[in-house]
Amino acid sequence: MDFSFGPEDERFRAEARAWFDAHPVGAYADATSRGGPGSEHERVATRRTWERKLGAAGWIGLGWDRTYGDYGNRAATLTQQVVWAEEYARAGAPGRVGHIGENLLAPTLIAYGDAAQRDRFLPAIARGDELWCQGYSEPDAGSDLAALRTAAVRDPADGTYRITGQKIWTSLAQHADWCFVLARTEPGSQRHHGLSFLLVPMDQPGRIEVRPIRQMTGTAEFNEVFFDGAVARAEHLVGGPGNGWRVAMGLLAWERGVSTLVQQIGFAEELDQVVRLALETGAAQDPVLRDRLVRQWAELRTMRWNALRTLGTAAGDPSAGDRPAGRKAAGDRPAAGRAAAGPGAPSVAKLLWGGWHQRLGELAMQVRGAAAALGPADWSADRPYELDPLQRLFLFSRADTIYGGSDEIQRNIIAERVLGLPKESR
């Protein structure tokens, strides 16, 4: 795939850069570069205000398919979306607090939702007014999502669904206005069957309880969410009853789209920080450590080119081919120019970046030496541990090979669905 930038892309870059130069100042300065992995809990109020600023300028939803209308977002080609991601990172702008709604739910509603659902939810996401969280994983259904037990029962009196169960590892649930929930709507159904995709308002005191989970970093951006008869309206079921697995898997395919490239830009900034520290402390004089630094750089470049190669394809969408006639996914492009990426591309990418990021955290501690084991002078039990960025990188990255699909699950997908190897005994 030819991913060179043309004159229109460079004009788009100049417009984006000028806007960023004018806006991440004043009230937003304390939130610049905040809100990434390990710090999603930081400066949420400021970042919500920033979302609305982005929305007012039309910067939310650049990659949305415009087949069904304009929801207040700018149109942008795939290369322009990459330009935007690069300029966002360059500006050190606040970490996006609305990315779940923009990059996951919105393309899902465009592909699988009906007109009423798109008209209700997409403009609010594009304005930065409503924040979303993701209700997928459960205590006994993490990587094996099909084992979920959260149930949604249709109330014959008013047609609403009453949801009972528990979700876990739910990022920013304590701040979200809505949650998209994968629940079992057919009693007695098993595995992938009988599931539905529901849009659930979070403001239901007594019916929804959010409990923060303290992490190794001392912070709590993940949560447990308990549903005790929480209500979802019938018209907020996406894709039809019992079709939840197809919708949910379509959503996960978009999770690894342009956002993968954005993630790698953040990785590059972290690597630069480690390299600078190695040069400042003289640690780079160690030939073994210097070799590891070069290897990290080379692997990151390889991941970037792999992401660019596969970005314009629909091969990573496991639901492609079973959508209703005439329906296409957000971000779909004409077949011409697509790379020949296989169905295992998302799993390969996840294996690559998860291990790479863990090794970067380990390398950061090696560069720091004995100082890496020192904590802040004032340890307090009633506030998050004040770790420096590299310490937090090391601790948080221990989870990289688990969340988003563990390495073991990704290898099974590649082995069974791509290589055609026999399935392991269940």
pLDDT of residue 117: 96
Residue 104 or residue 40, greater confidence: 104
Question: What is the share, in percent, of the chain residues with pLDDT greater than 70?
Answer: 82
For residue 30, the model assigns a pLDDT of 62
Over range 59-69, report the average pLDDT: 86
Q: What is the pLDDT of residue 46?
A: 85
pLDDT for position 330: 32
pLDDT of 339 reads: 33
Architecture of domain 133-242: Beta Barrel (2.40)
Comparing 370 with 426, which gets the higher pLDDT? 370
Distance between CA atoms of 48 and 70, rounded to whole angstroms? 23
Number of Cβ within a 10 Å radius of residue 220: 15
pLDDT tens-digit series, residues 310-320: 765 533 333 33
Q: Which CATH class is domain 256-418?
A: mainly alpha
Contact residues for 5 (Cβ-Cβ < 8 A; gap 6+): 13, 79, 83
* Of 238, 223, 260, nearest in space to 137 by CA: 223
Report the chain's mean pLDDT, rounded to a whole number.
Answer: 82
Give one word for 357, left, alpha or beta, with left for phi > 0 and alpha for psi -120 to 50: alpha
Please report the pLDDT score of residue 298 as a whole number.
95
* Band (34; pLDDT cuts 50, 70, 90): low
pLDDT of residue 37: 60
Q: Which fold has domain 7-130?
A: Butyryl-Coa Dehydrogenase, subunit A; domain 1 (1.10.540)
Q: Round to whole Å and give the CA distance between 84 and 90.
A: 10
Question: Bigger pLDDT: 128 or 213?
Answer: 128
Any residues with CB less than 8 A from the CB of 122 and at least 6 apart, and which? Answer: 61, 64, 71, 106, 109, 110
Catalytically active residues, by annotation: 255
Q: In the predicted model, what is the mean pLDDT of residues 380-391?
A: 66
User: Is there a contact between 133 and 284 (Cβ–Cβ < 8 Å)?
Assistant: no
Give dist(CA 39, CA 133) in Å, integer.
16
pLDDT digits (tens, 9 = 90+) for 4-30: 678 888 999 999 999 988 886 666 666
**Residues 102, 60: contact at Cβ < 8 Å?**
yes
Q: Which residue, 243, 339, 323, 259, is CA-closest to 67?
A: 323
Residue predicted with more confidence, 376 or 326: 376
Determine contact, residues 102/61, Cβ cutoff 8 Å. yes
Give the mean model confidence (pLDDT) for residues 136-146. 83
Structure tokens at 149: 């037990």
- Output the six-digit token pair for 412: 């099974």
The pLDDT-based confidence of 39 (bands split at 50, 70, 90) is low
Mean pLDDT value across residues 314-336: 32
Please say whether the beta carbons of 164 and 209 come within 8 A.
Answer: no
Residue 23: per-residue pLDDT: 80
DSSP string for residues in 176-222? -SEEEEEEE-STT--TTTTEEEEEEES--TTTEEEEEE--TTS---E
Query: At 106, is the pLDDT very low, low, confident or very high (cuts 50, 70, 90)?
Result: very high
Rounded Cα distance between 296 and 364, Å, is 11
Domain residue spans in the chain? Answer: 7-130, 133-242, 256-418
Residue 331: the pLDDT is: 32
pLDDT value at residue 51: 92
